[in-house]
Amino acid sequence: MQNTSISLISWNVNSVRRRLDQLIRVIDRWEPDVICLQELKAKTDIVPVDEITAAGYQYQAIHGQPGYNGVAILSRLPLTDIETFDWADSQDARHIFARIEGSGIGVHCLYVPAGGDVPDRRVNPKFDFKLRYLDALADHFAGQYGFRDPMILAGDLNVAPLLADVWDHTKLKNIITHTEIEIAALERVKRSLNWIDAQREVSGEDDPVFTWWSYRAADWESVNKGRRLDHIWVTPGLKNAIEDVEVLTAVRHWSPPSDHAPVRLVLSGDT
């Protein structure tokens, strides 16, 4: 592996065409090397690739889907080994992989299913799909890669696993995104390669950190009923390279807003 110095932003953009101007603002302000987008809500052939290329990201791995889902990895650096994956008997565009040429770092961009409203897989097919999806991810990582493979996992995982990842654990412990069964399923994914939660490596487990706030609250920041649904993980070999992780909360104010704020990771050249 060569130099690991890199900056990456992950963002559930909630329609890449509607928020193209905001994406360009993010690029201009933070100048990331790599961008992982979720919920493109667009077929691959109508993603605004020309505008993205003009902004400096000529290397693009896009897995689009009309109307919903869709993921993309946009890069200033050449991308190789691009792959898309379908899990849990679904053809949804939720997982794309590419390797950053020169660094050897692989990037997984993920959009895990939300799971619907009822946290019971016996009566809610969407919740069952979410759990099967997470199990399939864990099996894939454990079977396909090794602990020494330098990789970043970034995306909307739709699970807030820790007490400090939600505004009120007691009120949300039976609400989808923070139930015990989802947290256990996500932990299995994490154990599959001993992934390191970059945010918690920097902030510790007790510091409240949120990346999502409901559209229902106009005063979302003062009420602050948020959840940390958006995550960036790294494999153990990149742990010592974690320099900074930041939730770009300011972007949540931009109009029209996504209900998710981007998350920014900075890796140094040290491993």
Q: Supply the CATH number for residue 173's domain.
A: 3.60.10.10
Q: Find the domain containing 61 and state its range.
A: 6-267
Does residue 75 form part of some domain?
yes
Confidence of residue 267 (pLDDT cuts 50, 70, 90): very high
Does residue 1 form part of some domain?
no
Q: pLDDT at position 3, please?
A: 61
pLDDT at 2 over 90: no
Does residue 101 form part of some domain?
yes
Q: pLDDT at position 216, please?
A: 87
pTM of the model: 0.97
DSSP class of residue 258?
A: P
Beta-bridge partners for 74: 35, 60
Mean pLDDT score of the chain, rounded to an integer?
96
Total domains in the chain come to 1
Does residue 125 form part of some domain?
yes
